Structure 1
Amino acid sequence: MRALIVNCTLKPPPEDSNTEALAAVVADAMRERDVDVSTVRAVDFDIKPGVSADMGSGDAWPAIREQVLDSRILVIASPTWLGRPSSVAQRVLERLDAMLGETDDDGVPVAYNRVVGVVVTGNEDGAHHVVSEITGALGDIGFTTPGQAWTYWHLGPGPGPDYLEEQRGHEWAHKTGRAMAANLVGVARALEAMPLSAPPE
């Protein structure tokens, strides 16, 4: 089974990504369950704006989309900015929107039988809002969100240090991340054994 983590940090390389650091906890926990995990840092690629699978010359999304389709587990990892998902995360969601109209040979939407989880970091409030925006959008597209399929690290109201600068809250965020990984893998395997069929007419 394969999983893809799309890191939606705003930071270009080689800057360290707090979001990537917490997502790595989830990745390691999935690997312990024999899942092949890959990570894409979205800002490394020229993902064109739009809601189509391929926006033409220079668009890097089609190759990332193939990785999504090769995976049963998708994790969107986003920092919180102004209480919302990053603009990079919004761009990724808009491009995933093209899957709404796609089905396999049996008429099953291509997002069906895939599970999604969310990782959030930030030194401000808003983690639950970010989780709900991302899982709500991907639920519309057809992904399944297991119970407790998220983890986050936030210090609370106001500015402060980042995840990589502060150890407070790591124990909880890591424990929750390991639970997230277990739930994602468990539900993905259940859907693999008993997949959803095409929706009724």
Structure 2
Amino acid sequence: MKALVINCTLKVSPEPSNTEALASVVAGRLAEQGVEVSSVRAVDLKIAPGVVTDAGDGDEWPEVHERILDSQILVMASPTWLGRPSSVAQRVLERMDAMLSETDDQGRPVAYNRVAGVVVTGNEDGAHHVISEISGALADIGFTIPGQAWTYWHLGPGPGPDYLDEQKGRDWAHSTGRTMADNLLGVARALSERPLQATG
């Protein structure tokens, strides 16, 4: 079983990422259970705008696309900015839109029989909105979204400290993240044993 974490922070490497730090809790739990976990920080790549799988010379999205198709579990991780997913998360979802027209060798959408969940951080409110926007988009593309396949950290409305600078709220976010990992893995295993079939 493989999992891919796409970190949609606005911070380029090697700048510390609050979103990466919380996503690592989910990744760690999956790894404890034998899942091979890899990650990508999307902002470090040249990902062209658009809704195609390959935008041509210099576009680094095709490699990410292949890594998604090589995984049974996808974790999308985004900070909250102005109450919404990051612009990087939006670009990633737009590029994933091309998957709607891609099918496997049995005629199923390529996202079928893959599960996805969402990790959100931010020192402002809006985490549930970000979770719903990303989860809804992933479900449209064909991913299965298990119950409670998300975790988030924030300290309520208004500006405040960042995740890496504050211990308050971490226990809940970590516990919820571990449950998220368990739910993702449980449903991924179920789908591997009894996969969804192509519909009429």
Bucket of the pairwise TM-score, normalised by the shorter protein: over 0.9
Identity of aligned residues (%): 74
Aligned amino acid, residue 111 of structure 1:
A
Cα shift at 1:123: 0.3
Residue number in structure 2 paired with 1:28: 28
Residue number in structure 2 paired with 1:19: 19
Residue number in structure 1 paired with 2:138: 138
TM-score, length of structure 2 as denominator length: 0.99
Residue number in structure 2 paired with 1:194: 194
Unaligned runs of 5+ in 2: none
Aligned-partner Cα distance in 1 for 2:161–2:52: 38
Aligned-partner Cα distance in 1 for 2:14–2:36: 25
Aligned-partner Cα distance in 2 for 1:18–1:105: 39
In terms of mean alpha carbon deviation, does 167-176 or 101-110 score higher? 101-110
Residue number in structure 2 paired with 1:48: 48
Aligned amino acid, residue 187 of structure 1:
V
Instruction: Give 1:1-201 correspondences, 5 Å limit.
Output: 1-200=1-200
Q: Which secondary structure state, in structure 2, belongs to the residue aligned with residue 40 of structure 1?
A: strand
Aligned amino acid, residue 102 of structure 1:
E
TM-score, length of structure 1 as denominator length: 0.99
Cα shift at 1:14: 1.7
Aligned-partner Cα distance in 1 for 2:99–2:178: 29
* Matched pairs, number: 200
CA RMSD of aligned residues (A): 0.4
Cα shift at 1:26: 0.3
Unaligned runs of 5+ in 1: none
Aligned-partner Cα distance in 2 for 1:109–1:11: 32
Aligned amino acid, residue 73 of structure 1:
I
Q: Which secondary structure state, in structure 1, belongs to the residue aligned with residue 182 of structure 2?
A: helix
Cα shift at 1:166: 0.3
Aligned-partner Cα distance in 2 for 1:86–1:138: 15
CA displacement 1:95-122 (0-9 Å, x = unmatched): 0000000111111110000000000000
Cα shift at 1:197: 0.3
Aligned amino acid, residue 80 of structure 1:
T
Aligned-partner Cα distance in 1 for 2:60–2:193: 33
Deviation beyond 3 Å, 4+ runs, structure 1: none
Aligned amino acid, residue 7 of structure 1:
N
